[in-house]
Structure 1
Amino acid sequence: MDHEDADRGHPDSAGEGLIRAAKAYRRTEKAHEEARQELKRAAVRAIAAGVKQSEVVKVTGWTREYLRRLKKDKKDHGDD
């Protein structure tokens, strides 16, 4: 390895790091999506139970418009 490689990191170790990161991402992707769907359901339930929309916005980081769409989608699909 020459001086230039020492500054950038070795290509083989960088490739191995990329592979490890991709595998870790794939392992957690399903759990992340399941948690996101549960958060959507919990947000809609909270609003239906009387929690102020501004509080749901604060907790979730979502916009009021996004919450309105979630409520509408739930209503349109007949979900309870």
Structure 2
Amino acid sequence: MDAEQALDQATRQYRKTEEAHEEARQAAITAVIAALRGGMRPTDVTERSPFTAAYVRRIAREHGIEPARPGPKSRR
């Protein structure tokens, strides 16, 4: 296999895995939305998802999910 063939093969493989990654990302976003709408706490969603807390908040905002109400404040 020459350098051009190797590059072509590597590019095809990259694009194939890139598509699979995007499909998996979309599935994870769908699951995050369902979990938040189902009443799961954003903190728990973040812990169980591949996304950061900031990205989970962004997903929620983009899909019209209101922020969770703050919990009770602890007294010292």
Count of paired positions: 65
Which runs of 5 or more residues in structure 1 are unaligned?
Answer: 1-11
After alignment, is 14-23 or 30-39 more displaced? 14-23
Structure with a larger share of its residues in helix: 1
Q: Which whole-Å CA distance do the structure 2 matches of 1:56 and 1:25 have between them?
A: 30
Which runs of 5 or more residues in structure 2 are unaligned?
Answer: 66-76
TM score, norm. by length of structure 2: 0.63
1:28-50 deviations in Å (ceiling 9; x for gaps) = 32232122112111101101112
The CA deviation at 1:61 is 3.0
Q: Which has the higher contact order (CA 8 A, sep 6+)?
A: 2
Could you say which structure has the larger radius of gyration? 1
TM score, norm. by length of structure 1: 0.61
Distance of aligned partners of 1:50 and 1:23 in 2 relative to their CA distance in 1, 3 Å threshold: same
1:23 to 12, 24, 28: 12
1:10-55 deviations in Å (ceiling 9; x for gaps) = xx75554433221111123223212211211110110111222222
Q: Please give the root-mean-square deviation of Cα atoms over the aligned residues, in Å.
A: 2.3
